[in-house]
Amino acid sequence: MDIEHLVFENGPKRVGPFSHAVKAGDFLFVTGQMPTLHENPDVLVSTDIKEQTHQVMKNLKTVLKASGSSFSKVTFVRVYLVNFQDFDQMNVVYKSYFDIDKLPARTCIGVTGLAKGASVEIDLIAKN
């Protein structure tokens, strides 16, 4: 199986040493995206969980599109939340990016902290 490491010049600026995504066979593994500004990985888009979730999903969409995939091909998602009181508000935004009848499998994990002081991070696996 061929493995391809993808870094996109026009992708969200990375906050660490990683590829935006890795293609392995027919699957695409997308690195967890942060709610940072597209052009500046040191600045959070907002402290509001809904705005942070939208930015994370926009960053994921950018990586999926550049990789030749889309949200309709996502098979599995992991959501990392610093505060589980944000769960419902995050879900309102999250589900708006998917066909409600074809939601991917998902795990939501409570964490004690995220890079750059973010409240949410999301990574995913998609069919390529």
CB atoms within 10 A of CB 74: 23
Residue 91 is predicted with a pLDDT of 98
21-24 vs 27-33, strand pairing mode: antiparallel
**Percent over 70 (pLDDT), the chain:** 100
| Per-residue tokens: 53 | 């979730």
Backbone angles phi, psi at 60, to 5 degrees: -60, -45
Q: What Å distances lie between residue 48 and 45, 70, 100, 111, 120, CA to CA?
A: 9, 26, 24, 17, 10
Determine which helix (DSSP H) or strand (DSSP E) holds 46, and give its type and residue range.
none
51-75 per-position pLDDT tens digit = 999 999 999 999 999 999 999 999 9
Strand, coil or helix: 43: strand
Evaluate if residue 12 carries a pLDDT over 90.
no
Q: Supply 64's token pair.
A: 């999926």
Distance CA 91, CA 10 (A): 28
Bridge-based pairing of strands 105-110 and 27-33 is unpaired
Which of 19-28, 33-42, 56-65 is predicted least confidently?
33-42
pLDDT of residue 41: 86
Q: Which of 30-39, 89-98, 114-123 has the lowest mean pLDDT?
A: 30-39
Q: What is the DSSP letter of 93?
A: H
Domains of the chain: 3-127 (3.30.1330.40)
